[in-house]
Structure 1
Amino acid sequence: MIYLETARLRLRDWVETDLEPFRQLNADEEVMTYFPKTLSKDETDTFYRSILSEFQECGFGLYAVEVKENQEFIGFIGFHRATWESDFTPCIEIGWRLKKEAWGKGYATEGAEACLHYGFKELGFRDVYSWTAEINKPSSHVMNKIGMQFITMFNHPKVELDSPLCRHVLFHISQKGRS
């Protein structure tokens, strides 16, 4: 099923043929620069199953993204229920991960804007959050571009305190804040 289409992208259900390029995406050290580590084949397969499970449970999730022009799988953009313990969870998170060949083309912004519209208009979300390591300027830039507002900084509880990835920035947007 195709959930969203933009001028250049389709955000759709995952298919089995996405799994191998998804494994490659998560094993790419450059793509995973702002994560504690790359993911093994088994870790990616577990992540894949959890994405499918979230769609079954919630009717939304991290959508597989393909370029309309050539039907190439380039990663994911979408929503996730964040339930780890924090003062802003549980919440709906918007996130993205694209292969490096897709960077710098505006795909993350284009897809995330479409997701926010869909989330507020069709899924009835009131609030959406996003966060990333403070040093991840490209993702923070996307958050700004899609209209999210910086809220605070925090130490991510799933990242070691001495890691340069521990300190995170938190962004938020509400349905009321959208036109």
Structure 2
Amino acid sequence: MIYLETSRLQLRDWEEEDIEPFSRLNADVKVMKYFPKALSAEETNVFYKSIVSEFKECGFGLYAVEVKENKEFIGFIGFHRATFKADFTPCIEIGWRLKKEAWGKGYASEGASACLQYGFNELGFSDVFSFTADVNKPSKNVMKKIEMNFIKTFNHPKVKKDSPLNKHVLFHINQNKSANGKTYIVQ
């Protein structure tokens, strides 16, 4: 099923044939630079199963993303229920992970903007959060481009305290107001 379309992307259900390119994406050390480690094929398979499970349980999740022009799988963009212990959880998180060949083309912000519209207008979300390691400038730039508001920095409880990835930034947007006052209600 295709959930969302933009001018260049389709955000859709996952298919079995996505697992192999998804595994390559998660094993790429450049793609995983701002995560504690790259994932093995087995770890990717576990991640894939958790994504599919979240869709079944919640009706939303991290959508598989393909380029409309050539039907190429390039990664994921979508929603996840963040439940680790923090003062802003549980919450709906928006996130993305694209293969490096897809970087610098505006795909992440294009897909994430469409997801926010869908989340607020179709899924009934009132608030959406996003967070990443403070050193992850590319993802912070996407958060700004999709008009999320910076809230604070925090130490991620699932990242080792001595890791340069421990310090995270938290961004937020709600259905009524973005960083530039844009509303996401289409009614």
What interval of TM-score do these two structures reach, taking the shorter chain for normalisation?
A: over 0.9
CA apart distance, 1:176: 1.1
User: Residue in 1 aligned with 2:112?
Assistant: 112
User: Residue in 1 aligned with 2:143?
Assistant: 143
User: Residue in 2 aligned with 1:170?
Assistant: 170
User: Residue in 1 aligned with 2:70?
Assistant: 70
User: Residue in 2 aligned with 1:87?
Assistant: 87
1:121-147 CA-to-partner distances (Å, cap 9, x unmatched) read 000000000000000000000000001
1:25 equivalent in alignment to 2:9: no
Distance 1:164 1:46 in 2: 26
1:100-137 CA-to-partner distances (Å, cap 9, x unmatched) read 00000000000000000000000000000000000000
1:60-98 CA-to-partner distances (Å, cap 9, x unmatched) read 000000000000000000000011111000000000000
> With structure 2 as the length reference, what TM-score do the two structures score?
0.95
Secondary structure (helix, strand or coil) at the match of 1:176 reads coil
Q: Return structure 1 stretches of 4+ with deviation > 3 angstroms.
A: none
Report the AA paired with residue 114 of structure 1. A
User: Residue in 2 aligned with 1:3?
Assistant: 3
Distance 1:162 1:85 in 2: 19
Report the AA paired with residue 136 of structure 1. N
Report the AA paired with residue 62 of structure 1. L
User: Residue in 2 aligned with 1:51?
Assistant: 51
Distance 2:153 2:84 in 1: 16
Give the aligned length: 179
1:132 equivalent in alignment to 2:132: yes
Aligned CA RMSD, in angstroms, stands at: 0.4
Report the AA paired with residue 170 of structure 2. L
Report the AA paired with residue 86 of structure 2. S
CA apart distance, 1:42: 0.7
Secondary structure (helix, strand or coil) at the match of 1:78 reads strand
User: Residue in 2 aligned with 1:41?
Assistant: 41
Instruction: Mark the runs of 5 or more structure 1 residues left unpaired by the alignment.
Output: none
Instruction: Mark the runs of 5 or more structure 2 residues left unpaired by the alignment.
Output: none
Secondary structure (helix, strand or coil) at the match of 2:171 reads strand
Distance 2:80 2:153 in 1: 20
Distance 2:42 2:174 in 1: 36
Report the AA paired with residue 149 of structure 1. N
Identity %: 74
Report the AA paired with residue 4 of structure 1. L
